[in-house]
Each structure stands twice: as structure tokens, then as C-alpha cells.
Chain A
């Protein structure tokens, strides 16, 4: 076969989308997953959100509490779905699938980022669920196309970020049991040390510092700004995007270095 020269960057982008495409093709045969995932945000919004909204215990300024947490719950459900993504990689390692991909000339970073994107696109269903519930609960949403598009982009990027983080954990621990343990340990601290269900303003000083180091905080801030009518960003949208993109890039780099460990 004649080998055609392919620019590394073009090759990388092309291969990333090949991986994403086939991860998404698997979804066609696997719809139950999407339905069961819808349950968690529904519980948080309908029960937790409603109760705390009535109690008036949370001071969220001029935004009603339900409006405040709707973007937070979207970010949370993205986190919860993405953080366990690595289990698929461990499953593929126990079969021989990871080994076969690694023995192919595909750039490692494309394998990692392609999987991350597919996790991102998978979590878009969560955005649909949260928007539906928000409508039902009377949350004042921003329906401008630009805002909606930004919500989609932030959701995909956030899921890419956390699923790549998850993949890194999978590459380190390598077994399902240990992975589930680590996953459980990480999700709640990431969630609670963020502005998802309460503003950072009411946090004790140490938690405030931790929350500012937590990428989820910037995801929530961006989602809140784009989702809600008349909302402004606490950190500035460019900082939100910068934190999310830079963190993702760093994680993809680390993931690409660690991914071959799954085959050895």
C-alpha cells in the first residue's frame, strides 16, 4: 500500500473524531443508559431544590434558589456521568480492545481526547433533562441561540475534562474495584467544594480557596451565566473558558502519556 503523508495535526484531529464517532455509534444500541441517567438530576431539582427553595435557607441574592441550582445540577450530572467514564476503559482493557488500538498507529492523545468528546456528547442528554425540568419548575431561562450554543459547548467541554480525569485514574488503578472506590471518593468533594448548590460567598474561607481551585466551579459559573436570563458571571466568561480548556489540555496530555500503561 502506498503510504500517503499526513500532517500530524490533521491526523490527530481526524483520528480524534474517528474515535468519537465509533464511541457514539455504540450508543445506538444502548438507550437505557440515557433514561436511567435522567433520574438523578430530577431528584436533585425536584426534591432537594424544592425543599431548600421553600426553606429560604440559602441566600442566592436576587436569583431564586431553584434558578440558582438548575445550572449547578446540570454541572453536577455532567460530573457524575463523566467521572465514571474510566470504567469503560478498564472493561476494554480486560477485553483486548485497548491493546489493539494501542498497537495501531493512532496518536495516543487522539485515543484519549476522542473518548473524552464522546463522553461529552453523551452527557448532552442531561442538558435536555435539566432544561425540561427547569421549564416545569418555572426557572427563568435564557433562550437566545448564542446562549444555548454556549451551554452545549460548556457541557461537552466539562464532560471531556472530567472523563479524561476519570481515564487517568483508570490508567493508574487498572482494576474496577479500586476505580469505583476512587471515583466515589472524588465525586462528592468535587461537587461540594464548588458553587453548584450554594454560592461561594457563604463558604468558610478554606473551602472558598478549594472551590476556586476546582474546575467544576468555573463550569457552574459559565453554565449559570449562559442558562439563566439576566445572569452575570462571577469570574468572567473568558476566565471560565480558559480554566476549562487549559485543564482539559493538561489532562489529555497526561492521559496520553498514561494510556499505554493499560496494555503493558
Chain B
């Protein structure tokens, strides 16, 4: 068994005549922080939905922690955590209750549930707020609780769809500090999408730039900058070079609306 934790092979998803993800092939190493970048409509969210078994691929397959997303979906679900772009904790429950339900759904042994929840709250800096209703949390706290909820069962891969959208810079830094800690302490592989280039630059081991359903560029930040030739390029130049032509065309009203709604709820 190699240390590849995520292996995507010719993964394709069509919606009618539109190909959202086009024969995507990619592998991610265990413990890697991997960023998927691209403009709206590039296929990032569709990719994550397929990898988390929420959406069936039209063709192709992927192995997550050794399990096929098409034939071993339940095993995949046990091995992963998922933080959707939209708010995924329940505001009418306390932070503790939001964690407890997932401790039970993921079959954590009864004797270990309380310890896991306490540890998760502490890890995300929420110990003092576990008993409060999540409806009263700030945006950054909501995101940290969501990450705690998705990592209670110590997933091998954590998928995050725009984890810092709508957060102020201080809250973003706090979220990232905790994400990096997860990788350091538990070896969790992080696979995330983002629009913020500086985040990708600061935290990613490798980056893939997606454009119209395909990966146009893949490598470390330095490799990508060097790939443009001539020297002195920034990641922003790289992004514009590979995805720039699509910045105006990407995303529909629904996507933009959903993103702004999320930003508003967290902000």
C-alpha cells in the first residue's frame, strides 16, 4: 500500500450537454494539504461532491483511503469528513449537541464519545462555548465547530469546500491554524477548494488549478510560478494565466447566491 490516500481516475460528470468535470485524474498523498483552485463554475464543487459520494460520476472513478467512490460508498463515507461550503451545523442545537449527534452517527464507542467531544471542542478552541446554542456563535466559531464535527471520527481525508468564505482575516487565520494542527497531530489529509490565492500560497503543499472541468496546472506553489518562465511570477499571475479567461463566464446566479448567503450567515 502506497501513501496515496486519494486517487482520482478519469472522473467525469456531465449535466446534460454540459461537462462540469472532464476526465479529472489526480492523486493526493497521505498527510498532504491539497488546494483546488479555479474560478466559479470550474468544477471544484462538483469534484468534491463526487469524492464525498454525494453525486455519482457519469464515468471514471476515484479511490478514497483505498475505497472506490462508485462501489464502496459507505466505506468511503466512514473514512472521510466533509465541511460543505454552506453552513452545516444546526443553529437550534448547542455546539455540544451538534458534536454528539455525529459521534453517534459515526459509531464512536459510547465510552469514548464524551472524551472525543471534549477533545474536539478544546482542539478547536470552543471549550467555553460547547453549551451555547450555535445560533449565537460567530462565523469563525461556526466554521471551527463544523470542522470539529467533521473530524470527530478522525477521518483520513477531510474535504472542505471554501472553508473560509465570508470570514474576516482574523477568523480565517484561526480556522487555518486549527486545520494545520489537524494535519500535524492526526496526519489528516486536507483537500479543499478556495478562491483565496494567499491561503493556497501559505498553507498548501500542492495546488491544482481547475478550468472548465479540467486540471490545467498542478504542482507546488513554486513549481507553478516557475512554470510560466521568465521568473518573478506570483501565484496570482499563474491563476490568471491558467484560469483567467474564464473569470467572467463562471458561475450562475444560483452559485453566486448560495455563496453570498453563506457569507452573510457567517459574517
Interface residues of B in 60-103 (CB under 8 A from A): 74, 77-78, 80, 82-90, 92-93, 97, 101-102
| B247 CB within 8 Å of chain A | no
B183 at the interface (CB under 8 A from A): no
Instruction: Please choose the segment from A38-46, A92-100, A200-208 that sits at the chain B interface, where 4 or more of its residues have CB less than 8 A away.
Output: A92-100
Q: How many angstroms from the CA of A3 to the CA of B107 in the assembled complex?
A: 9
Complex Cα distance, B86 from A263, in Å, reads: 12
Q: Does A260 contact B (CB under 8 A)?
A: yes
Whether A105 contacts B88 by the Cβ 8 Å rule is no
Do A104 and B77 touch across chains, with their CB atoms under 8 A apart? Answer: yes
Partner of A18, one of B49, B89, B104: B104
Contact of B150 among A3, A14, A100, A105 (CB under 8 A): A100
Bound form: Cα–Cα A18–B258 in Å = 29
Asked if A103 and B80 sit within 8 Å, CB to CB, the answer is yes
Chain A residues with CB under 8 A of B87: 95-97
- A70-99, CB < 8 A from B: 94-97, 99
In the bound complex, residues from chain B placing their C-beta under 8 Å from that of A54 are none
Interface presence of A1 (CB below 8 A): yes
Minimum Cβ distance to chain B for residue A167 (Å) = 17
Name the residue among B88, B105, B150 with the largest chain A CB count within 10 angstroms.
B105
Contact of A30 with B by CB under 8 A: yes
Q: Which residues of B contact A100 (CB under 8 A)?
A: 82-84, 88, 146, 149-150
B169 contacts the other chain (Cβ, under 8 Å)? no
Given the complex, which residues of B lie within 8 Å of A135, measured CB to CB? Answer: none
User: Considering the complex, which residues of chain B in the window 212-248 have a beta carbon less than 8 Å from any beta carbon of chain A?
Assistant: none
Number of interface residues of A (CB under 8 A): 29
**A106 CA to B103 CA in the complex, in Å?**
12
Give chain B nearest CB distance to A165 CB in angstroms: 24
Beta-carbon contact of B104 and A96 below 8 Å: no
Contact assessment for B92 and A29 in the assembled complex, using a CB-CB cutoff below 8 Å: yes
A residues within 8 A CB of B105? 15, 18, 101, 104-106
Q: Is the CB of B154 within 8 A of A102?
A: no
| In contact, A22 and B97 (Cβ under 8 angstroms) | yes
Contacts A3-B78, A29-B133, A105-B105 given; indicate if A264 touches B88 (C-beta within 8 A). Answer: no
In the complex, are the beta carbons of B78 and A105 less than 8 A apart?
yes
| Contact call B93/A22, Cβ cutoff below 8 A | yes
- Contact, CB under 8 Å: B93 / A263: no
Interface status of A4 (Cβ within 8 A of chain B):
yes
Q: What 0/1 readout, one digit per residue, does chain A (243-264) give for beta carbons within 8 Å of chain B?
A: 0000000000000000010011
A residues lining the B interface (CB < 8 Å): 1, 3-4, 6, 11, 14-15, 18, 21-22, 25-26, 29-30, 94-97, 99-106, 260, 263-264
Given contacts A15-B105, A29-B92, A105-B105, 18 further A-B contacts (CB under 8 A): A1-B154, A4-B107, A4-B109, A14-B104, A18-B105, A21-B101, A22-B90, A95-B88, A96-B86, A96-B88, A100-B82, A100-B84, A103-B54, A103-B80, A103-B82, A105-B77, A105-B78, A260-B54
A–B Cβ pairs within 8 angstroms, 16 of them: A4-B109, A6-B107, A15-B104, A18-B101, A18-B105, A21-B101, A95-B265, A97-B90, A99-B54, A100-B88, A102-B53, A104-B105, A105-B77, A105-B106, A106-B105, A263-B49
